[in-house]
């Protein structure tokens, strides 16, 4: 029996011996102590080499695992750091987004406030424009009223002055002997003998204008003669126009209508135009109180203002060519007057 055991163990040892020792994947078998004792020396050496090789593989495997664990630790650390950095970046971006949102909210509030203020400003501007328009209309109404009042006053003055004759060129102090009424009778006797005997021609009042004499004034003050009727005034002036040269004690004087200052100025503004029309034989006349009359294409035309004259001239090429220089000059004068104002 013992021999059979040994044989069997020997067979087992032979099986161990047949296992290649250089294969790394060969599993390590479990040996009992009796088996190890019965092994031959060569088999023990092989077993030792196998154990050493396995131990070496285990150590290499352990080292590899440790390296992997270390790499995983490093990667985990990197991931952790990246996670922290990402978290910080997310926090920063969240803070930035919050700041941007707050800024947008502030801008919205500012824009809303500005929009409200602009709306209020527009309402104020509209209100001011309405007030300005009302003021302009009020000023225009006042100006129109003033013009109407001036026109009424001018007409009243011209009506009051209608029977008057204005005498120009009578030397200062000449009236001391006979008075102004006596001087006027002397003018009639010297220039219109037939009128001097007309007892119906009565002088109601006579005075110089202005009332106070200015010593620096080179020309004498005008003499204003107020007659009883307008008919007598027109009769005397008609005779003066026919005679043309009127004198007092041999010195030339002038007899003219007595108008308000505004009417005199209006009549003066027709002079240049009347002079050009006179040169073209258009028979111009300055009618009472300040109207221009002349003959055009066989018809008598009368104008109360230069604007009406310009509108008419624009439809008459020949007349427009005739008056273009004088009308252009008048336009420039009015423009300069407006700029000075």
Domain range annotation of the chain: 162-258, 262-328
pLDDT computed for residue 21 by the predictor: 43
Please, what's the b/e burial string for 43-73 (b: 16 or more CB within 10 A of its CB; e: otherwise)? beebbeebeebeeeeeeeeeeeeeeeeeeee
The per-residue pLDDT for 55 is: 83
Residue ranges of the chain with per-residue pLDDT less than 50: 1-28, 335-341
Sign of CA dihedral 177, 178, 180, 186: negative
Provide the pLDDT for residue 157.
Answer: 84
Closest CA to 227 of 258, 273, 265, 190: 258
Sheet holding 291-296, edge to edge: 285-287, 291-296, 299-303
Secondary structure string (H, E, C) spanning the chain = CHHHHHHHHHHHHHHHHHCCCCCCCCCCCCCCHHHHHHCCHHHHHHHHHHHHHHHHHHHHHHHHHHHHHHHHHHHHHHHHHHHHHHHHHHHHHHHHHHHHHHHHHHHHHHHHHHHHHHHHHHHHHHHHHHHHHHHHHHHHHHHHHHHHHHHHHHHHHHHHHCCEEEEECCCCCHHHCCHHHHHHHHHHHHHCHHHHCCCCCCEEEEEEECCCCCCCCCCCCEEEEEECCHHHHHHHHHHHHHHCCEEECCEEEEEEECCCHHHHHHHHCCHHHHHHHHHCCCCCEEECCCEEEEEECCEEEEECCHHHHHHHHCCCHHHHHHHHHHHHHHHHHHHHHHHHC
Cβ atoms of 196 and 189 closer than 8 Å? yes
State the pLDDT at residue 26: 47
Does 210 sit behind a cis peptide bond, omega within 30 degrees of 0 on the bond before it? yes
Domain with residues 262-328, CATH architecture: 2-Layer Sandwich (3.30)
Provide the terminal-to-terminal Cα distance of the chain, rounded to the nearest Å: 156
Class of domain 162-258: alpha beta
User: Considering just the CA atoms, what is the radius of gyration of the chain in Å?
Assistant: 66
| Per-residue pLDDT, 18 | 40
Q: Residue 209: what are its φ and ψ, rounded to 5°? A: -135, 135
Q: What is the pLDDT of residues 251-306, one digit of tens each?
A: 999 998 888 888 888 888 898 999 999 988 989 998 878 889 999 988 999 998 88
CB atoms within 10 A of CB 279: 10
Only one residue has tokens 């009769």, namely 235
């Amino acid at each position: 029996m013992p021999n059979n055991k040994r044989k069997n163990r020997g067979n087992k040892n032979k099986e161990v011996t047949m296992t290649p020792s250089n294969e790394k994947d060969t599993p390590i078998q479990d040996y009992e102590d009796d088996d190890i004792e019965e092994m031959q020396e060569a088999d023990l050496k092989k077993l030792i080499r196998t154990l050493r090789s396995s131990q070496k593989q285990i150590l290499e495997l352990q080292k590899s695992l440790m390296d992997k664990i270390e790499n995983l630790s490093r990667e985990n650390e990197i991931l952790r750091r990246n996670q922290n950095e990402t978290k910080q970046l997310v926090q920063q971006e969240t803070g930035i987004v919050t700041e941007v949102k707050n800024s947008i909210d502030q801008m919205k509030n500012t824009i809303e406030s500005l929009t409200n203020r602009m709306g209020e400003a527009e309402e104020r501007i509209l209100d001011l424009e309405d007030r300005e328009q009302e003021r302009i209309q009020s000023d225009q109404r006042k100006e129109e009223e003033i013009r109407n009042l001036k026109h009424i006053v001018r007409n009243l003055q011209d009506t009051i002055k209608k029977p008057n004759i204005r005498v120009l060129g009578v030397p200062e102090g000449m009236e001391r002997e006979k008075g102004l009424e006596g001087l006027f009778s002397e003018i009639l006797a010297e220039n219109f003998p037939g009128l001097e005997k007309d007892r119906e021609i009565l002088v109601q009042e006579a005075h110089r204008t202005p009332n106070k004499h200015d010593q620096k004034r080179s020309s004498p003050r005008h003499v204003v003669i107020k007659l009883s009727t307008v008919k007598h005034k027109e009769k005397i002036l008609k005779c003066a126009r026919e005679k043309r040269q009127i004198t007092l004690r041999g010195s030339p004087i002038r007899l003219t209508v007595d108008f308000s200052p505004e009417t005199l100025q209006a009549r003066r503004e027709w002079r240049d135009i009347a002079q050009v029309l006179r040169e073209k034989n258009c028979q111009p006349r300055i009618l009472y109180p300040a109207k221009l009359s002349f003959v055009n294409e066989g018809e008598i035309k009368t104008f109360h203002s230069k604007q009406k004259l310009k509108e008419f001239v624009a439809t008459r090429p020949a007349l427009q060519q005739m008056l273009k220089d004088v009308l252009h000059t008048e336009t420039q004068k009015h423009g300069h007057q407006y700029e000075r104002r």
